Amino acid sequence: MKKQPNMQDHPFVDQRIVETLEKNFMPYAMSVIVSRAIPEIDGFKPAHRKILYTMYKMKLLKGNKTKSANVVGQTMKLNPHGDQAIYATLVRLTRGNDALLLPFIDSKGNFGKVTSRDMKFAAARYTEVKLDGICEELFLDIDKNTVEFVDNYDGSMKEPTLLPTTFPNILANPNKGIAVGMASNFPSFNLKELCEATIAYTQDPDVDLIKIMPAPDFPTAGELVYSQSEMRKIYENGVGSFKMRGKIQYLKSENMLEITEIPYTTTVEQIIDKIIEMIKAGRIKEINDLRDETDLKGLKIAIDLKRGTDPDKLIAKLFKFTTLEDSFPCNMNLLINGRPKVLGVKAIINEWLIFRRLCIKRGAEFDIERLKERLHLLYGLRKVLLDIDLAIKIIRETKTDKLVLPNLMEAFEIDVDQANFVADIKLRNLNQEYILSRVDDIESLEKELKRLEELIASDKKIDKVIVKDLNRIIKQYAKPRLSTLVSPEDIITHDAEEQIEDYNLKIFFTAHNYFKKVSLVSWRSSGDHKIKEDDEILQELDGSNKDEILFFTNQNNVYKMKMHEIDDHKVSSLGVYLPNILGLDDKEEVLYCVLTSDFKGHMLFGFENGKVARVPLESYKTKTNRKKLIKAYSDEAKLIRMEFCLEDEDLTMIREDEKGEVRAVIFSSALVTEKITKNTKGIQVFRMKKRSLISGFFKTVRHPFENLDRYRISDVPKSGEALDPFEKMTFNKWNK
């Protein structure tokens, strides 16, 4: 009996490692590279393409949304992976997930967020999807043999190897893939800039694309630290990296930081975890509280600061030690005819143009074939037009059905297809009008055939079609750039002003201390003001959202705020109640507002004792951006009124005495000596006598009198000129 071999004696079988790699590892590696992880010239990996094509076949381009589970189930006919893998891929393509600059799927329901690590998407049975409008450009003429179709994994149906995209989608969205031994990482570019750059390249291959399309653009916005020399290397080689930063705003009124945009490469949780880690390690001591306040309005991380914190220094720390500043490594590796290539931006656009020209040619060839078939039938019909009666006679007198076609072919010298076409015409259509109308189509079809043949023969004409498509896409789908570009020099010290939206404003201040900030656009398209019945508008100012506003109060204080810190209002609203946002003391109220961007000009304070103080607005400017300044003007005498003058202006002062005499002077503000001290007592402008006081102080442009020259003075102080009875009555009426 033959002895059985003992496996314990030889537990391993010697194998050549090279042969093992070739047989087992290489096919797997090639499959991952070619069929899974690396995108192709249409901008898609196979998994994405299968989902979108399935939805196209489900007629979800024009129809209503359907449950995501339906799409996942249908996609499994093309994709042998499980439903969870398919659904996770679909989620990234949706508008709700915000992962793409140009979403392909219009979605309803919770699809998570690319900015969140922990926010999970809802199950496929709860969410709904359909194809977004841009997908019309992905599938244009796909049924005209523009691209190759192959069998699916079980041979039961066909699927496209590529989609005939009418724009260079490969550069329109972020795309990351990790294969075996190689990887791919594409940034996204603004659709308008990308299409314009492609148009420019078709017209001049030597065009400098970076002037048209300066840098990538990302769906999470943020700031891109822009160096043109570094970006040019990425454009040329397809490899390199650039830095991205989030956007942080300091809200002085609340003493907090708000993070509203983050780099595409990070998540909210990642940033928060790192900040908490730094707080525990004692590297950050300026933070009181940290919250994720992201909601339906958008992303927001709120950071409450301790009193006395320098926000600029803290912001610099956050950028340095967290992923609020992160690098995006570019590796533009894509498959060209099944071979991976790392290409620069211009080379990718060139490859896409080669692909797109082929798609247009194939589509034109498809149309030519159909046109020729149609013309061939119409040519036969035209021959029948010569003798309709003979055609009817042949059909009527032919004894057997199978002889109808041969008899028609012989009588009119037409082939079997043409004879079939004639024989299949309905009896009611066998009239001269119908046949003539069909024959008239020949001329238009011949023109279209000639146009298509000329199109196929000319790359210039094909490029005109491409440019026409790109211009249409710009018109229909272009959106403003989201990621702003900042130069490295600009980020050495953090400038919060760069994050403030700049637009023109109308400012309204009322006697009851209501303050209304209205954008100029909203003001022009609005109706009447809404104010309380017994209230009135004291000031109407023009300015910008980047301006600073000073509020002078009756307790000799001035409160300062940035205009962007105050919410916009509609004209039809009451506005904001100033004591609430300024934190005024009891019985403290705002008397006057000044809007400024550069602190130029001066304040003039008219007091009851006849003195006028002139203080440069620059005196209220502080390096630390303090909110409240005390002793903003003198409290020695009662304030009659204050006025802001950008340049020297004429001012009027009115004095009354116990006998009822009213006197006035008109003087230039240049006569008042300027004092840097805010609470200066001023200089005597009006000579006072016993039991007299100043009752009016205002800019002369608002003067109610006709004869101004008799009140004008060239030096101070003066006793002024008395008002005659009529002028006195006019003033009393006006002063009310």
Which tens digit of pLDDT belongs to each residue from 537-556?
999 999 999 899 999 999 99
Give the chain's mean pLDDT: 89
Q: Domains in the chain, please, with CATH?
A: 44-164 (3.90.199.10), 247-323 (3.30.1360.40), 358-477 (1.10.268.10), 497-735 (2.120.10.90)
Residue 426 has φ and ψ, to the nearest 5°, of -65, 150
Of the candidates 337, 342, 352, which has an alpha carbon nearest to the alpha carbon of residue 171?
352
Helix H or strand E encompassing 655:
strand 650-657
The partner residues of 242 in beta bridges, in order of sequence, read 328
pLDDT of residue 396: 83
Instruction: Give SS3 for 57.
Output: helix
pLDDT of residue 494: 42
Average pLDDT over residues 225-244: 94
| pLDDT tens digit sequence for 461-486 | 999 999 999 999 999 999 999 999 99
Structural contact between residues 666 and 702, judged by C-beta atoms closer than 8 angstroms: no
pLDDT of residue 704: 66
Per-residue pLDDT for 441 more than 50?
A: yes
| pLDDT tens digit sequence for 584-626 | 888 899 999 999 989 999 999 999 999 999 999 999 988 777 7
pTM listed for this prediction: 0.65
What is the Cα Rg of the chain in Å?
39
Instruction: State what percent of residues in the chain have pLDDT above 90.
Output: 62
Average pLDDT over residues 317-334: 93
Per-residue pLDDT for 382 more than 80?
A: yes
Distance CA 689, CA 609 (A): 10
| pLDDT tens digit sequence for 2-61 | 555 555 555 667 778 888 877 888 887 887 887 788 999 999 999 999 999 999 999 999
Per-residue pLDDT for 343 more than 60?
A: yes
The partner residues of 159 in beta bridges, in order of sequence, read 150
- Which of the following is catalytic: 53, 56, 126, 577? 126
Of the candidates 532, 364, 547, which has an alpha carbon nearest to the alpha carbon of residue 459?
364
Which residues make Cβ contacts (< 8 Å) with residue 267, sequence separation at least 6?
A: 115, 116, 117
Structural contact between residues 542 and 506, judged by C-beta atoms closer than 8 angstroms: yes
Of the candidates 221, 228, 225, which has an alpha carbon nearest to the alpha carbon of residue 244?
225
Helix H or strand E encompassing 379:
helix 345-385
More confident residue, 350 or 399: 350
Per-residue pLDDT for 499 more than 80?
A: no
pLDDT of residue 496: 42
With bands split at pLDDT 50, 70 and 90, how would you rate the model's confidence at 682? very high
Instruction: State what percent of residues in the chain have pLDDT above 70.
Output: 95
With bands split at pLDDT 50, 70 and 90, how would you rate the model's confidence at 497? low
Which residues make Cβ contacts (< 8 Å) with residue 483, sequence separation at least 6?
A: 215, 216, 217, 218, 221, 222, 223, 224, 244
Q: How many CB atoms lie within 10 A of CB 458?
A: 11
Structural contact between residues 100 and 73, judged by C-beta atoms closer than 8 angstroms: no
More confident residue, 711 or 214: 214
Which residues make Cβ contacts (< 8 Å) with residue 72, sequence separation at least 6?
A: 83, 86, 87, 90, 124
- Is 126 one of the catalytic residues? yes
Per-residue pLDDT for 520 more than 60?
A: yes
| pLDDT tens digit sequence for 125-179 | 999 999 999 999 999 999 999 999 999 999 999 999 999 999 999 999 999 998 8
Residue 551 has φ and ψ, to the nearest 5°, of -110, 110
Per-residue pLDDT for 703 more than 70?
A: no
